[in-house]
Amino acid sequence: MCGIIGIIGEKPVSRLIYHSLFAIQHRGQSSAGKLTYDGNIHVTKDAGLVRDVFNEEKKIDTPGNVGIGHTRYSTAGMDDTESLKKNAQPEYLVNPFLAVVHNGNIYNCLELNKKTKRKPRTDCDVQWPLLLMADKLYKQELTVDIIFKACEDIMHQLKGSFAALYLADSGDNPYLFAITDPHKIRPLVLGKSDGMYCLTSETRVFKKINFEYVRDIPGGAVVVIDKDGDIYEKQIIKKQELPCMFEYVYFAKPDSRINGRSVHKVRDEIGRILAREHPVEADIVIPVPESGRRYAIGYTQESNIPIDDGIMKDKDERSFIQQTQESRDKIVAEGLSFIRSVLEGKRVVLLDDSIVRGTNIRKLVRGLRNAGAKEVHVRIGCPPLIAPCYLGIDMRSKKEFIARDNDGNIKPWDAIVKEIDADSLGYISIEGLKKAIGSKICKGCIDFPDGYPSEMQNDVKKMFKNDKTGIRAYECV
């Protein structure tokens, strides 16, 4: 899971991309980068947050009326600082000139390695959309039709999820173009403003840079934008769209819309459904900041149990997408405070988006009890996570999930209740989640393997069988 941004038009785009990266920082905290182009390539990328990477004016303001940017959430390669720096995006080649940023996860990289003589220079799966495309465009005078043909060839070879943005030029006519996977698992939207056009992961970017939302890009599509603002679109592969349910549950910001559906309203409805599916006698509803707030609002509106802030968050970093368990623990330990005056003697309903490893929720329940809570009833806006995501969420191994025991069996809820020291636990049902989102979804991590697109199910079963603790199965030889 990453954040991507591409802008083309009549004016310099560097500062627009810079501001946009802050709007999609939540989608990736491993590294950040941007590339602008004016006949020369101007690129800055490094491990770290946007504010750390772009720490000088000369890195923020670079020439060019077209450019791409990226915030990376690592789902390939190692997690040490040097590896994160090496795998930062955008990635580019000079022969032919081609740059790319990618959101998603391509899981057949070992197979794709045999289809090109070009050698990847990083461990990131972005290399395959880059190298395969470079082969197709090499020694070509770029036209829209040539780009369409190259994209069609590549899209039929890639397995997994992808929303990729490219920047290419074979003279004085640069193109910004995009491809999306057939099931539109990762979001991509188009916006415009005064002769400028923007493709990005979330609609909230448009508010940040004063662009107008135009439309969502469909699955299996190619979109090409030239320097004059002419837009060409072709749907290469037509399949049922299955947006990732975790976009609605966790990743996207609540002020974004996915396929026209407000993320805020989806989370509010999830909270309401949770209150109906798992009612409880309690005195107060407490959200986990900020991930549980929208669920708590819906829960309190449906249950009429009052809501209050019993937990304060002191850090902006997201614990789930930290690279190591040590860093996740540190964020949780250092980032939260509990308000005794709100909690003491109360029967508390604690609302959060999901439970993966159980790192957060155990410490949260313990913190509530230490602050005087009489009872703690946990309610979760996502069904139990039971299998790795092979399509862009970094849940590496089936051994990671609190919902599975050491033998790989799915635990009964009462065992999880005991583990997290709660008085009760309620997850939203899969049917409840689908109802809240209002469309078909990719749900492979909560309904394995049937929740994956049908053509991927044999692949994911093989990867699940090949699962080794701490190693991403699609990276195993």
Measure CA 353 to chain center.
Answer: 15
In order of 27, 140, 147, 230, 384, the CA distances from 13 in angstroms are 21, 26, 23, 17, 42
DSSP 48-84: S-HHHHS-SHHHH----SEEEEEEE---SS--SHHHH
Among 184, 187, 165, 163, which Cα is nearest to 258's?
A: 187
- Residue partners of 274: CB distance under 8 A and separation at least 6: 295, 298, 299, 351, 379, 380, 381, 426, 428, 432
**86 in helix, strand or coil?**
helix
Strand partners for 468: 471
Active site residue 476: no
Half-sphere exposure of 477 (CA within 13 A, CB side): 1
Residue 476 to residue 467: CA distance in whole angstroms: 9
Cα–Cα distance between 388 and 146 in angstroms, integer? 37
Percent helix / strand / coil, the chain, rounded to 5: 35, 25, 40
Strand partners, 216: 189
Query: Residues 6 or more apart from 95 whose CB is under 8 A from it?
Result: 138
Q: For the residues of 123-185, what is the DSSP string, one character each?
A: SSTTHHHHHHHHHHHTT----HHHHHHHHHHHHTT--EEEEEEEEE-SSS--EEEEEE-TT--
What is the end-to-end Cα distance of the chain in Å, rounded? 23
DSSP labels, 246-291: HIIIIIS-TT-EETTEEHHHHHHHHHHHHHHHS----SEEEEPTTT
Where residue 44 falls (left for φ over 0; alpha for ψ -120 to 50; beta otherwise) is beta
Q: How many angstroms from the chain centroid is the CA of residue 32?
A: 14
Give the active site residue among 2, 124, 389, 442: 2
Give the residue numbers marked as catalytic: 2
